[in-house]
Amino acid sequence: MDETIGRNSTNPSTRESLRAIRSSLSSLIAKSAHLREEKFELSHREREVLQLVSQGLTSPEIAEKLFLSLPTIKSHLASSYRKLGVANRVEALSAAQKLGLLAKQ
């Protein structure tokens, strides 16, 4: 942050307000960096499900292969989509590949 914020103001109240805003912004930036780092931390099972999606398997096929229920597979996919900030399988695979989250085939 620019340390000169508020220094040109002659009003002490304005200077103090700007310092408080600067402090709040710094805190928010630090928190958002932490959230961005956590965002891409897929669980082992989420990565496993995405890996199988990348091999062309459908959700029922993945459920059968992993001995999990279909709702569980859908839950893992939804969680992956949320963490990757995507809306569907194609976007999820693209994002996971760009981030190096999928094993090479």
- pTM score: 0.62
- Cβ contacts of 86 within 8 Å, gap of 6 or more: 92, 94, 95
Instruction: Enter the DSSP assignment of 81.
Output: H
pLDDT (tens digit per residue) in 17-75: 888 888 888 777 766 654 544 556 899 999 999 999 999 999 999 999 999 999 999 99
Residue 104 lies in a domain: no
- d(C-alpha 50, C-alpha 77), whole Å: 7
12 and 49: one domain? Answer: no
- CATH number of residue 89's parent domain: 1.10.10.10
In this predicted structure, the answer to whether residue 1 has a pLDDT above a threshold of 50 is no
35 and 57: one domain? Answer: no
Residue 2 lies in a domain: yes
